[in-house]
Amino acid sequence: MLNERTDRISSRAYQYVCEVLASEFRGSKSGGMMKRLERAFAERFGVGYAISFINGTATLHAALAAAGVGPGDEVIVPPLTMASTSFAVLHAGAVPVFADIDPDTWTLSPASVAERITERTKAIMPVAIYGLSPDMDPIMALAETHGLFVLEDDAECFLGTYKGRLVGTLGHAASFSFQSSKHATSGEGGMVITNDPDLANRVRRFGSLGYAAVGAGEGKISKEDIQDPGYARHVEIGWNYRMPELCAAVALEQVERLDELVAWRQESARLYAEALEGCDWLTPQAVPEGYGHAYWTFVARLNRDDITWHDFRRKFLEFGGEPFYGAWRLTHLEPAFRNRRFADYQWQEFAPGLCPVAEATQPRLMQFTTNAYDRAEMERQAEALAKTVAYFS
């Protein structure tokens, strides 16, 4: 049972931050928070390796690069996601290929993925959009048949479940974000998890300037290694994507409280769903049997042509509702992508018509925030939704 309210960031985070400051970032003392965070994260997800990053875009880039994705490759992505999913593919030098979404769950459609696979396809990036897992069994089956790498983009899905398994443990690797709107936050931050030790080593090296001394379980370079003029430090070319210790301190407190933080979001979603009972023109994201939705945000589709998205949102705000987040345009229709060519071999035109289900769905999605860690506030939000529905009914 949840209390009446909770602090999003508790006093324990302040204590951890003070521990970092007391270390004065000196080499021999710092690095501890990152290790503690990674251990706590790996334990909570029951995986072999957790590697921390500066954000949940760097994670995707590093995981793709570590899996050998590069120029000449295609990576299948959904268009209904935050643009980082596709940007990371471009950062890795590959080209995103957009597959359509399911009309009810709005997650990547396995049937559409199957249609988009070519001899250049190297990876698939299913996204647990708004906190709901895609249908991973058929996606993993396709990956197995075609020898593809599957990177889950779970930036929005902490502790979601799929057929009894934790989201993040379904693909070959998974990426999470600690950006400020997420279930667990350190302002900015990210994490890659995997059970594959070789992949974990490469992910770490890629995000840590290719240092020879770092690896899956070790993110820090020792003084002994460095204080040798002949020491070969860099065995690979890498980016400097490490999470700062101060962020790790806050993220550690959040991971220790992860179950509680997710439960608050799920409770918010339950109240919104209650507010929509009996309304046949605002349909929440469908949660198939056996799935546990983490509700980064509660999303419903507006199935009326006489009210616009903006009309509905304006009224919701007038009734005391909070502004939405996550109402991104479909990635292939963003100016950065639309009608652009990223490589000679790019075979998709990034233009309307590429993903008809997503294009019919996205302009109608209303995203209600679930980040009120206060029962009275979440009730006010649900009431604002109920009033808006009543107004337009």
Ligand X SMILES: Cc1ncc(COP(=O)(O)O)c(C=O)c1O
Q: Which residues belong to the active site? A: 182
DSSP 211: B
Structure tokens at 291: 């799935």
Task: Provide the pairing of β-strand 161-162 with 149-153.
Answer: unpaired
Quick check: 177 binds ligand X (CB under 6 A)?
yes
Residue 369: how many other CB atoms lie within 10 Å: 20
Q: For ligand X, which is the closer residue by CB, 52 or 55? A: 55
Quick check: 244 binds ligand X (CB under 6 A)?
no
Residue 194 beta carbon to ligand X: minimum distance, rounded to whole angstroms: 17
Residue 180 beta carbon to ligand X: minimum distance, rounded to whole angstroms: 9
Site track 45-84 with ligand X (rule: CB under 6 A), x = hit: ----------xxx-----------------------xx-x
Residue 133 beta carbon to ligand X: minimum distance, rounded to whole angstroms: 13
Quick check: 153 binds ligand X (CB under 6 A)?
yes
How far does Cα 127 stand from its chain's mean position?
7
Binding-site residue total for ligand X (CB under 6 A)? 14
Residue 58 beta carbon to ligand X: minimum distance, rounded to whole angstroms: 7
Cβ-in-10-Å burial (0-12, 13-18, 19+) of 93 comes to: middle
Q: For ligand X, which is the closer residue by CB, 57 or 121? A: 57
Site track 189-218 with ligand X (rule: CB under 6 A), x = hit: -x----------------------------
Phi, psi of 25, deg, nearest 5: 55, 25
Q: How many residues does the chain have?
A: 393
Report whether 208 contacts 319 (CB < 8 A).
no
Quick check: 359 binds ligand X (CB under 6 A)?
no
Structure tokens at 341: 């060519």
Residue 80 beta carbon to ligand X: minimum distance, rounded to whole angstroms: 10
Site track 116-135 with ligand X (rule: CB under 6 A), x = hit: -----------x--------
Residue 377: how many other CB atoms lie within 10 Å: 15
Report whether 368 contacts 272 (CB < 8 A).
yes
Quick check: 38 binds ligand X (CB under 6 A)?
no
Q: For ligand X, which is the closer residue by CB, 55 or 362? A: 55
CA–CA distances in Å: residue 43 to residues 37, 168, 176, 225, 285: 10, 13, 15, 29, 30
Structure tokens at 15: 């204590």
User: What residue is closest to ligand X based on CB?
Assistant: 56
Residue 155 beta carbon to ligand X: minimum distance, rounded to whole angstroms: 3
Q: Which residues bind ligand X (CB under 6 A)?
A: 55-57, 81-82, 84-85, 127, 153, 155-156, 177, 179, 190
